[in-house]
Amino acid sequence: MQILAEAEDLPKTANIKTQLISLWTAPVFGVVLLIAFLAFPGFFPPMSPEMTAEQVAKFYSDHTAMIRFSMVTFNLCGIMLLPIFMVIVVQMKRMATQSHVFAYCYLTAAVTGATLFALADIFYLVAAFRPARNPELIELLNDMGWMIFIAPVGAAVAMNLLLGLAIYFDDGPNPVFQRWVGHYAIGTALAMAPAVGAAVFTTGPVAWNGVISFWLRNGAFTLFVIVMFFVLRNVLHRQAIDEGVAR
């Protein structure tokens, strides 16, 4: 993006620049989080909910260092994904043919989702802090970690439905997002929704280690962030041109 000379110090340019910074935190910290994800010894394959308390306790005492590394990284860098969702909020607020109600709902839903995400890693870390604890309690902490990590998809579902709706309602001559982004957001919401079963089932595809709950949910979310990075990059570019900030 080529910022125009005369626009360099204007507030509307700073608005674009701060959004670009927020956007670029996603790939940078996305890579960091991917490393943390790959480093967690209990993701390949995901730990079964049917493990006995002794097996869970043994898992934590065998792999303490890597669990700590992975979850500390999630703790420190996980919320650095929030900025890209806030760029989506700012863009939703640019939609001309609607009130900003969807944008504010999206913002609050994002905060709820991020809060739960920030909570999960603490349970894993407490379990790994003293692996010699009573195995029943290690299992309890492990269950809490997994359930809070996988099951509460409600916020993400609501966010994506809101984004989809906002895009459908944005039917003026100059829409912010292209229409397929709306379909894609709804599709992501549908793909993530069944993972709620992780709160109930201990076996099968919607248990927390199941294909749907673990791989489909996390895959859909990751892909959504990647796709939205490119979508938002284009949207920001267009905004910059429309507002006379860039060429």
Per-residue x/- mask for another protein, residues 157 to 176, rule CB under 8 A? ---------------xx---
Question: What is the total count of residues that contact another protein (CB under 8 A)?
Answer: 57
Instruction: Tell me which of 14, 190, 223, 241 binds another protein, using CB under 8 A.
Output: 14
Instruction: Tell me which of 38, 52, 55, 134 binds another protein, using CB under 8 A.
Output: 134
How far apart are alpha carbons 114 and 108 in whole angstroms?
A: 10
**Does residue 76 touch another protein according to CB under 8 A?**
yes
How far apart are alpha carbons 226 and 224 in whole angstroms?
A: 5
Tokens of 113: 């989702």
Question: Please, what sign has the CA dihedral across residues 151, 189, 156, 220?
Answer: positive
User: Residues 147, 199: contact at Cβ < 8 Å?
Assistant: yes
Q: Any idea which residue has 């595809």 for tokens?
A: 205
Instruction: Tell me which of 119, 165, 216, 227 binds another protein, using CB under 8 A.
Output: 119
Instruction: Tell me which of 7, 39, 80, 216 binds another protein, using CB under 8 A.
Output: 80
C-alpha to C-alpha distances, 234 to 3, 20, 228, nearest whole angstrom: 15, 11, 10
| Minimum distance, C-beta of residue 59 to another protein, in the bound complex (Å) | 17
Q: In terms of Cα–Cα distance, which of 42, 41, 61, 69 is closest to 131?
A: 61
Q: Contact residues for another protein (CB under 8 A)?
A: 5, 8-9, 11-12, 14-19, 21-22, 25, 65, 68, 71-72, 74-80, 82-83, 85-87, 89-90, 93, 96-98, 107, 110-111, 114-115, 118-119, 122-123, 125-126, 128-130, 133-134, 137, 140-141, 172-173
